[in-house]
Structure 1
């Protein structure tokens, strides 16, 4: 089987959507970078798989364009080795050169030959077979790092294809009840699809594996890095634009404006170099290394019929605190840590139905005056840089896309339970408005807070009607509240997309508030349209002023009063 070859540089394996009708084409890395401007977007099996592949593509671009400009010439302050194409800083780093490279590439509308040259140089690291198999190690390397009882010859420590395939995510102990494949075919994949799932598995690994590499200090097997985030990225009008908008060549969180050499996993040379680095549990200081970080040491054995057996061993995770080199996540401030710190947020099962716009302040800084407890995603800061430098138009519509894999919440498995996608589209001039207290991000956040207040009023109305009907639980209020927010999603996102920097702000806000009031009142009317005799006659309730009769009409009038009062307050 060592004579087999499947090279990601030249063999088709990436699914792309080529037109508005959704036509799928499978392309190689070389083809993708040469024609990214002709493709709409990635088109793999799941949105999360596409994000994992996107980050691999970005790791390649980060590496190339941190060394070469748009004319494929090395920056003056670097010395690039002709053999390895790796760079050494020899003079004062000038981040403006990187911004210029980005601008010239974006204006050209396509990537330069340097990407193809780089891929050809490292083609042996992108072959799925052989001594440097992509995202894998040889049997000898695997045996060197794992305990003797877990070596390849023992046949232990394997992970099934049906578990790596995240449309199934089935372990041998927990069958997937609604899998898209029957048992006979759950462990069958063609080679391009297996490659895509391997990339995703390294990013979204759970913690069911029992095999770990040997280290001096004990460690707990960690989740894949991307699985630990609440990911967000910028979606463009083409695959080229998506890649460019997320190509963060200058990290504003690096206050010292230092040059951090990009070092994807394949540039570590021998696998032992990378594993020794990971044993130290030091977080990456560059995006390319972070985007290609392994969560597992993988080795694949192939039988004579080409059927793979996948061996997997956990690698020590790195500390995520204040790891702002990661641009694609929202952050959670922990004031109780010593010292206080930021950690990547994760979407959990209990709040996965909450729309992205309701957490607008997590994606964009809405309170610049209050320092310490807020940090917007790095990709948003990068887009802000581009807009401030007029490298993207002020009136450009920016789409922030969220893609999260939500775990089952079981600490011993963290198996994928659901995939959640959402987006918001907004004018760049609105998103990055800086006009004092009346700037749009602040006003938008105010309207979101108002909207959620009215959502709570509506929930209380439903819950009050439930008590009138003799129910003691909040199940009906929760269900109707979820439906209400579902009805809100499209109107609010449309309102958000309609905003412009030069709008009459009070007029646009009044427009939303009028629409919001109608949505609340109409929803309440629809819910109480056919009242039962008990709804009308009501029930006796106790309060601070003694007993009184409560019915659906009183509840409705109370809701209208609360809504009008809150809207008047603004």
Structure 2
């Protein structure tokens, strides 16, 4: 006999760090929004899972606060129904007036330090859509609805009738810390084989949300469609995410709560999270258009799979999964939480997806992708950075406020036929608002920071070449040797550079602060080369004979390689 209810609005399932006790606690949606100011951050099973849940929370807040002000009253330009949903938008109101109201709501909420009671009212009204076992089960569908939209051969009814289940996803595959399919065993999983399919209901909800965002492409079942389509990866899995962090969960939610569009829009768009669609048919019809959503609530709650959970007498779920047509990432600029890369042939923008070969590259080294330093047409600034810029320009965050940009990526194995998760990476960087958005002079900070990063990477390139030469002298794989030592070199720079970046202010003498980093960089670089020299052998001293382009022989050993590298360091770091 199945459980009657597990409601996300009132049952605890979200793990947070309580700043008052510094302990992890599990809370419901209503508890989270009522006490977000007391929580430090989300603290689920994975950082990537936290990001998926963060976007769900933002979908709720974006929906509510684009309809109601911080005083819990609906905006004058909207007519609302009893379900807190928009019935009519007054066209007599100009978009500037509407945006002013939305800006004021954000300012009032941020100043108050907590969310208003309208959030609880909305969640209580829509509690039926947040029940794991409800008539409209959360982030899934009933068996009859599933069978209506999939081929009969893949239906739940046929699986039960024949005893030959098809189109299923194991719990151990939905659990992205295991991600074990039926074809391969996860050797280093955090659970033994006997418990890989066991989850509490709270855990299941978290993985359900994450799976809809980070689905791979191993499953073959699809919903019925007039147009052919391939099962795509989850939307968040296709991005290189960036978002704002903060000193509390309330601040994190507020700094990522984009109420005024950063992409130009001349009309008010009604937010429509997936649970507000009148019927499943209406939602799937919209998805078959394969158009990027025009509102953030829809984007943040995008399903990648039609899921049905069938429960046995022991409360263990069997998960049926069918692919839904996914819209393309090209020019999906409504998405605020990603870096973008311009296609040189088409001039269109696509997310700059993180891959295994880039996973060791720290955020600060890609500074120019987060901020359009030179206002180039071929750079599209991350939407969340544009939103923070708007908040600073409008005086909603102080000039001297420290801003945290964070990145969490679940990186696939690179196999296009499976896209199984290979690793998770997290990084962040801290920078003052008037430094990040300094445009007062031609000598503004973003340009100078980018110059410093380019200089640092020239030194890094020189160290890579030095290490490769040493590898060549030692008659080992020079490329692999250089890559390993280069990674260690940049790892030694990460904390000092992030500390230097966080120390910058709008009132600094730019040249003095840059000289400070040059001195630090020189010290760390010479330390790295000294460590390399300390491991040298007689073979390194003896060296090898190389021939230049004119076929003239020359002796190369670890001393000549080190001298060449040190000349580069002193030449590059002795200037301005």
- Same-fold call, TM cutoff 0.5: yes
Q: Could you say what secondary structure the match of 2:285 adopts? A: helix
2:121 counterpart (96, 117, 134): 117
**What residue number does 1:59 align with?**
59
For each residue in 1:417-464, what CA deviation from the matched residue of structure 2 results, as whole angstroms up to 9, or x when unmatched?
101000000111101111233111111111111100000101111111
Q: Are 1:163 and 2:163 an aligned pair? A: no
Conserved? CA contact 1:39–1:238, under 8 Å: yes
**What residue number does 2:34 align with?**
34
Aligned equivalents of 1:16, 1:235: Cα separation in 2: 14
Conserved? CA contact 2:212–2:303, under 8 Å: yes
**What residue number does 1:415 align with?**
420
**What residue number does 1:366 align with?**
373
Aligned equivalents of 1:513, 1:42: Cα separation in 2: 37
How many Å apart are 1:531 and its aligned residue? 2.9
Aligned equivalents of 1:87, 1:446: Cα separation in 2: 52
How many Å apart are 1:87 and its aligned residue? 4.4
Conserved? CA contact 1:67–1:87, under 8 Å: no
Q: Are 1:427 and 2:437 an aligned pair? A: no
For each residue in 1:374-426, what CA deviation from the matched residue of structure 2 results, as whole angstroms up to 9, or x when unmatched?
01111111111111111111111111010000001111100111010000001
Aligned equivalents of 1:472, 1:120: Cα separation in 2: 62
How many Å apart are 1:472 and its aligned residue? 5.5
Q: Could you say what secondary structure the match of 2:365 adopts? A: helix
Q: Are 1:13 and 2:13 an aligned pair? A: yes
For each residue in 1:253-287, what CA deviation from the matched residue of structure 2 results, as whole angstroms up to 9, or x when unmatched?
12x43211100000002111101110111110000
Alignment of 1:71-220 (within 5 A): 71-91=71-91, 92=93, 93=95, 94-153=98-157, 154=159, 155-220=165-230
**What residue number does 2:401 align with?**
396
Q: Could you say what secondary structure the match of 2:281 adopts? A: helix
User: Which stretch shifts more, 1-10 or 166-175?
Assistant: 1-10
How many Å apart are 1:537 and its aligned residue? 2.7
- Poorly superposed stretches of 4+, deviation over 6 Å: none
1:493 counterpart (498, 504, 514): 498
Q: Could you say what secondary structure the match of 1:436 adopts? A: coil
Aligned equivalents of 1:537, 1:549: Cα separation in 2: 9
How many Å apart are 1:4 and its aligned residue? 0.8
User: Which stretch shifts more, 117-126 or 521-530?
Assistant: 521-530
Q: Could you say what secondary structure the match of 1:421 adopts? A: strand
**What residue number does 1:69 align with?**
69
Q: Could you say what secondary structure the match of 2:431 adopts? A: strand
User: Which stretch shifts more, 434-443 or 17-26?
Assistant: 17-26
Aligned equivalents of 1:555, 1:122: Cα separation in 2: 68
Q: Are 1:225 and 2:235 an aligned pair? A: yes
1:552 counterpart (558, 564, 567): 558
How many Å apart are 1:476 and its aligned residue? 1.1
Aligned equivalents of 1:380, 1:83: Cα separation in 2: 33
Conserved? CA contact 1:2–1:130, under 8 Å: no
How many Å apart are 1:538 and its aligned residue? 2.5
**What residue number does 2:23 align with?**
23
**What residue number does 1:445 align with?**
450
How many Å apart are 1:358 and its aligned residue? 0.5
How many Å apart are 1:345 and its aligned residue? 1.7
Aligned equivalents of 1:470, 1:64: Cα separation in 2: 64
Alignment of 1:207-356 (within 5 A): 207-254=217-264, 256-337=265-346, 340-356=347-363
Conserved? CA contact 1:160–1:187, under 8 Å: yes
Aligned equivalents of 2:511, 2:87: Cα separation in 1: 53
Conserved? CA contact 2:20–2:38, under 8 Å: no
Conserved? CA contact 1:95–1:257, under 8 Å: no
How many Å apart are 1:21 and its aligned residue? 6.4
How many Å apart are 1:556 and its aligned residue? 1.2
Alignment of 1:416-565 (within 5 A): 416-471=421-476, 473-544=478-549, 546-565=552-571
**What residue number does 1:387 align with?**
392
User: Which stretch shifts more, 73-82 or 110-119?
Assistant: 73-82
Aligned equivalents of 2:325, 2:83: Cα separation in 1: 32
User: Which stretch shifts more, 454-463 or 471-480?
Assistant: 471-480
Aligned equivalents of 1:472, 1:139: Cα separation in 2: 56
How many Å apart are 1:470 and its aligned residue? 3.0
For each residue in 1:345-391, what CA deviation from the matched residue of structure 2 results, as whole angstroms up to 9, or x when unmatched?
211011111111110111112111x22x1011111111111111111
Conserved? CA contact 2:469–2:478, under 8 Å: no
Conserved? CA contact 1:234–1:379, under 8 Å: yes
Conserved? CA contact 2:2–2:311, under 8 Å: no
Aligned equivalents of 1:284, 1:241: Cα separation in 2: 26
Q: Could you say what secondary structure the match of 1:294 adopts? A: coil
For each residue in 1:269-320, what CA deviation from the matched residue of structure 2 results, as whole angstroms up to 9, or x when unmatched?
2111101110111110000000000000000111111111010000000121
Q: Could you say what secondary structure the match of 2:458 adopts? A: helix
CA, structure 1 residues 65+132, in 2 after alignment: closer, same or farther (shift >3 Å)?
same
Q: Could you say what secondary structure the match of 1:425 adopts? A: strand
Aligned equivalents of 1:271, 1:470: Cα separation in 2: 63
How many Å apart are 1:530 and its aligned residue? 4.4
CA, structure 1 residues 87+439, in 2 after alignment: closer, same or farther (shift >3 Å)?
farther
How many Å apart are 1:2 and its aligned residue? 6.4
Conserved? CA contact 1:85–1:118, under 8 Å: no
Conserved? CA contact 1:87–1:261, under 8 Å: no
How many Å apart are 1:84 and its aligned residue? 4.6
Aligned equivalents of 1:83, 1:195: Cα separation in 2: 24
Aligned equivalents of 1:449, 1:223: Cα separation in 2: 34
Conserved? CA contact 2:10–2:30, under 8 Å: yes
TM-score of the superposed pair, with normalisation by structure 2: 0.96
Aligned equivalents of 1:20, 1:537: Cα separation in 2: 62
Q: Could you say what secondary structure the match of 1:219 adopts? A: coil
Aligned equivalents of 2:266, 2:575: Cα separation in 1: 45
